[in-house]
Copies of this chain bind each other. A is one copy, B any other.
Amino acid sequence: MRVSVLGCGRWGTFMAWYTNKIGHDVMLWGRETSKSFAGLKETRKNEYLSLPDTIKLCSSLDKSISFAELIIISISAQELRSFAKQLNSIKESQNKTFILCMKGLEASSGTRLSQVFSEELGRNVNVAVWVGPGHVQEYVNNIPNCMVIGSENVDITKKIVQEFNSDLIRFYYGQDLIGNEIGAATKNVIGIAAGMLDGLNYSSLKGSLMARGTREISRLVRVMGGNELTIYGLSHLGDYEATLFSIHSNNRKFGQSYVEGERFGKLAEGVSTIKALKEISRQYEVELPICNALYEILFENKDAKATLENLFLRPVKFEFQN
């Protein structure tokens, strides 16, 4: 089958590599001005992998859309709305199936990415999400993992899984789009908290963080209309190894650098998600103590050590109060 991948960062390039590897005819799109795209055109590799010659590199969005039936999108979550507007101006976008491979929420509004996408492209396109654990660094070394494809249409979900499943990535059918998207986005926030605990020499409090983080997000998902158990599945808890413990996790490293007073160069999508959660917390009138503590640390200049100690080492109480 023909597959286009829009976005040629770490994950987009990996997805082109992966879908090609399992037998699809793949086109990888990047902006003409993108440094990553220029690098791939010149050397056909990045710091993680080399692309076989069978993968087409293309900077025309029109061509990339008309090329394929399945279109994977992997760009910065905060750019999705303007990108979706661009896609909407391309007539052939209608009736295609788009798969969003991003873990974020629109910072200004708290909107889930599949909603952002549908708001801009209308209901004639199929939208699915691809979330769950796994590191590019490990997949390219042939270390397998399990991931999740979810959408509002189980036939679309099954079709994508059928096309993309392999011994390297075992896909599960997502059963709760709200839970999968909120879960995938917020695990980055818990990852930032984990990094801060690491940086403060409180790594062993990551146990408490896992118990309380899942509970906090699970309650949120329930209030938003999703299934609270989803948070304890692959899209959130199942991604904690990769996010809270791995040396590869950008969000964890961001949190650690932050409390150590160092600048961290790479994108930590969790920072935008923290802003989005502030808005969601207001909209749904849900208290999110961990997310809110991170907001105060990052955006209101509160002291990280005191704020996290207050959060995790407060006086006794019942563990489950609501």
Binding site for B on A (CB under 8 A): 133-135, 138, 143-146, 148, 161, 165, 167, 170-175, 201-208, 210-211, 214-215, 218, 227, 229-230, 232-234, 237-242, 245-246, 312-320
A133 and B175 within 8 A (CB): no
B317 and A207 within 8 A (CB): no
Give which listed residue, B165, B207, B229, B233, contacts A238 with CB less than 8 A. Answer: B207
Residues of B near A239 (CB, < 8 A) are: 207
Known: A134-B204, A138-B204, A214-B232. A174 touches B314 (CB 8 A): no
Give which listed residue, B143, B218, B318, contacts A175 with CB less than 8 A. Answer: B318
A319 and B204 within 8 A (CB): no
| Cα–Cα distance between A317 and B170 once the two chains are bound (Å) | 9
Give which listed residue, B134, B174, B204, B234, contacts A241 with CB less than 8 A. Answer: B204
Residues of B near A312 (CB, < 8 A) are: 146, 170
Residues of B near A246 (CB, < 8 A) are: 204
Residues of B near A148 (CB, < 8 A) are: 319
Residues of B near A208 (CB, < 8 A) are: 133, 145-146, 234, 238
Known: A138-B204, A204-B135, A207-B133. A233 touches B145 (CB 8 A): no
Known: A210-B240, A211-B234. A316 touches B165 (CB 8 A): yes
| Cα–Cα distance between A313 and B134 once the two chains are bound (Å) | 13
Known: A175-B319, A316-B173, A319-B233. A201 touches B143 (CB 8 A): yes
A–B Cβ pairs within 8 angstroms, 7 of them = A143-B202, A171-B316, A207-B237, A207-B239, A207-B242, A210-B237, A210-B241
Taking A148-B319, A165-B315 as known contacts, 14 extra A-B pairs with beta carbons closer than 8 A to each other, sorted by chain A number, are: A133-B208, A134-B204, A143-B201, A144-B205, A146-B313, A165-B316, A170-B312, A172-B316, A172-B319, A175-B320, A204-B246, A207-B241, A210-B238, A211-B232
Give which listed residue, B134, B146, B230, B313, contacts A170 with CB less than 8 A. Answer: B313
B204 and A233 within 8 A (CB): no
User: What residue in chain B is nearest A161 (Cβ atoms)?
Assistant: B316
Residues of B near A230 (CB, < 8 A) are: 320
User: What residue in chain B is nearest A138 (Cβ atoms)?
Assistant: B204
Residues of B near A319 (CB, < 8 A) are: 148, 172-175, 233-234
CB distance from A257 to the nearest CB of B (A): 21
Residues of B near A205 (CB, < 8 A) are: 144-146
B237 and A211 within 8 A (CB): yes
CB distance from A68 to the nearest CB of B (A): 22
| Cα–Cα distance between A134 and B205 once the two chains are bound (Å) | 8
Residues of B near A161 (CB, < 8 A) are: 316
| Cα–Cα distance between A319 and B277 once the two chains are bound (Å) | 26
CB distance from A104 to the nearest CB of B (A): 19
A204 and B145 within 8 A (CB): yes
Residues of B near A313 (CB, < 8 A) are: 144, 146, 167, 170
